[in-house]
Amino acid sequence: MKQTLHQYWLHASAREQVALRIAATLVLLALVWWVGLQPALKTLKNARTQAPVVRAQYEQMLQLQAQAAALRAQVQQPVSDPKAVLQDSISTLEKNARVALAGERATVSFKQARPADLALWLEQLRLKAHSSVLEMHMTQAAGLWSGSVLVQLPSGAQP
């Protein structure tokens, strides 16, 4: 086959050889375009449109990283009397909260608590009293929350 093509090339006129060279060059250029340049240009175009999204995700990850570092940096002081800390913490729920203690657990009932106050109380419960929520039953009416929360106090908090 190679020999046949070589013989054809030798016997082709100069005009045919020029036409074949041009055709081969065009095929080579098309191949370079489809394999090399077009995918690269498409990727570049997509990168420009995705850059703001990726940047926003990166900023969010940095914020989460800073938040995690801040949480790690918080020193957890041992709580001498978690029950007293729990009693003090319900003051954020105003006068509509009551605590019922039972060993290492406590049930906090509240009525008509504002969402911000409830969130602050839950944060204090975790950070200051070193307690965790076991169960939560809540209802919402007119933007205020009522319900009860079963709390696990840290070990060694029983009477």
> Same domain for 8 and 61?
yes
Claim to verify: residue 42 and residue 88 sit in the same structural domain: no
Last residue of a domain, one of 73, 105, 126: 73
Instruction: Tell me phi and psi for residue 135, to 5 degrees.
Output: -150, 145
Number of DSSP helices (H) and strands (E) in the chain, helices first: 5, 4
**CATH code for position 108:** 3.30.1360.100
Residues 101 and 120 in one domain: yes
Query: How far is C-alpha 123 from the geometric centre of its chain's CA atoms?
Result: 21
Residues 89 and 41 in one domain: no
Q: Are residue 116 and residue 147 in the same domain, yes or no?
A: yes
Task: For residue 45, give its domain range.
Answer: 2-73
Contact at 8 Å (CB) between 121 and 92?
Answer: yes
Q: Are residues 90 and 108 in the same domain?
A: yes
Cβ atoms of 79 and 129 within 8 Å: the answer is yes
When divided into structural domains, the chain yields a total of 2
**What's the pLDDT score for residue 159?**
44
pTM across the whole model = 0.50
2-33 pLDDT, tens digit each: 888 888 888 888 888 898 889 999 999 999 98
Is residue 158 in a domain? no
Query: pLDDT below 70 — which residues of the chain?
Result: 75-79, 156-159
